[in-house]
Amino acid sequence: MGRIIGIDLGTTNSCVAVMEGTDPVVIHNQEGGRTTPSMVAFSEGGDVLVGAPAKRQAVTNPRRTVHSAKRLIGRKSGSAEVDRLKQTMPYEIAVAQNGDAWIRVGDRTFAPEEVSAHVLEKMRTVAEDYLGEAVSEAIVTVPAYFDDVQRQATKDAGLLAGLTVRSILNEPTAAALAYGLHQDKDGVYAVFDLGGGTFDISILRAQAGVFEVLATNGDTTLGGDDFDQMLVHKLVAEFMAAEALDLTGDPVALQRLRDAAERAKHELSSALNTDINLPFVAVGAAGPKHLIREVSRSELELLVAPLLARLEAPCRRALSDARLTEADITSVVLVGGMTRMPAVQAKVEEIFKRKPSRGVNPDEIVAMGAAIQSGMMDGDGAMAEMVLLDVTPHALGIRAAGGRFAPVIPAQTTIPTRETKVFATTEDNQELVTLEVYQGSAPEVKDNRHLGTFTLGDLPRGPRGSLRVEVAFTVDADGIVSVDAKELTTGKATSIRIDGASGLSKNQIDEMSQKRTGQFPKLIRR
């Protein structure tokens, strides 16, 4: 068996780490960086650029450069989040046959899993260059609030990248592992994780090497991209008012604006003012037009105030679910690049009534935690004595009469877990029982995630109510759902057909793997 690496597959940047003895080590990429931009560019000649090379040419090739693919993974094209992203992304978001959101580049379409696979494959080669040996297994992190479809899609991306994903680890849990190992003291941690595309809050208790997640909550539609976009919208509106030119129809101008907004946001974390200077951003009747403007920290904070306000409710719910108050929290750990923003840190202090800890690198701590998890799985030394108990963030249940959601496994249940529910036939001579399975916490199924339709077939005929079917719902340690069933009267196991609502089929994965095998020789990793 080779080494197991830990990968933080981020919306904006990704990071890879490995255990060296009892310490997690972040690995530098081939460009010398400790993190890698989660960007993939497809040239017209068929070459694939990943990471920094893709980012360098994003302005000149915006329609063929994909970023933030993580925000699309496992999402339907008609969802509110995807509709919003269609208005902001320079590349085209297409509709797959099953309604999933895919990405169109030229005359080809790519599943978000395919794009993420290129980033994971880059992380694999970074690790292989460092270790001097082939790598085939990884721990990959995901936002704690990812649902079953998004988790399975992440595992599929790993498979396309030539990796066996040994475990899907929640990002806040990974950060708590790394922080707890670094601090080497017991306590109750609030892990506040605000990255490029998602927000998670998890409450964990560390005691005698046992890391127990008490509750988790979050918002998978809130991240650093949204903060950037608020500034972009303002700049576009001002330019339209001043010059009567709409920049939203120009992908190159939009990408330049997005890059400038991101740089301004970063600079305003340490400075009170910064300049946005975009010469020749458009051409009007009178000639070239330039966008030159000063932005202050206070102006940006006022602009993103609605986003900052959205951070509080998930934190309150997590504390309530954990049956704790702010006073019970030992330390607040900041994770994700957006937590460098002073206004975010001030919001954290307002919520938890204490200053957050700044003793760790928010960009690297998740990958380090994933590496620690690999050490726990390998059972080496002190790592073997550590125990991790996570929870499922969403309830798992079925569609009941009137479109109501009937939970079978409640949210915040420690995983892995298994619960059973017995169903009886409602008609004479009924041969099939069909169940619609959902994941979420809303009272109505229409507001939850449809995981699939499960058909239990080949039932023996009989009067209604005479046959009972026991259905077992399982959530494994990765938070991935499975269902099996048996007919109780005869003890016969029933066949289950799963009609998945989203995600890639096995045939699609096989086909994509074959295509990618042909692409790898043209993959540019400079």
Q: Is the peptide bond before 356 cis (omega within 30 degrees of 0)?
A: no
Q: What contacts 70, CB < 8 A, 6 or more positions away? A: 9, 10, 11, 38, 112, 116, 196, 197, 198
Please confirm, yes or no, whether 171 is among the known catalytic residues: yes
Please confirm, yes or no, whether 193 is among the known catalytic residues: yes
Three-state secondary structure string covering 328-364 = HCCEEEEECHHHHCHHHHHHHHHHHCCCCECCCCCCC
The tally of CA atoms less than 13 A away on the side-chain side of residue 48 is 22
**Among the options 171, 219, 225, 228, which is catalytic?**
171
3-state secondary structure of 10: coil
Structure tokens at 449: 């995630």
Please confirm, yes or no, whether 8 is among the known catalytic residues: yes
| Cα gap 114→110, rounded to integer Å | 6
**Among the options 114, 137, 193, 478, which is catalytic?**
193
Question: Which secondary structure element, helix H or strand E, spans residue 449, and what is its range?
Answer: strand 449-457
* Residue 500 backbone class (left: φ over 0; alpha: ψ -120 to 50; beta: rest): beta
| Cα gap 480→416, rounded to integer Å | 9
Nearest-CA neighbor of 55 among 74, 33, 77?
33
**Among the options 55, 70, 265, 347, which is catalytic?**
70
Strands 387-392 and 210-219 come out as parallel
Please confirm, yes or no, whether 70 is among the known catalytic residues: yes
- Which stretches does DSSP call E strand in 225-306? 273-284, 287-296
Q: What contacts 94, CB < 8 A, 6 or more positions away? A: 77, 101, 102, 103, 104, 109
CA distances, 76 to each of 48, 450, 505 (Å): 26, 11, 15
Question: Which residues participate in catalysis according to the annotation?
Answer: 8, 70, 171, 193
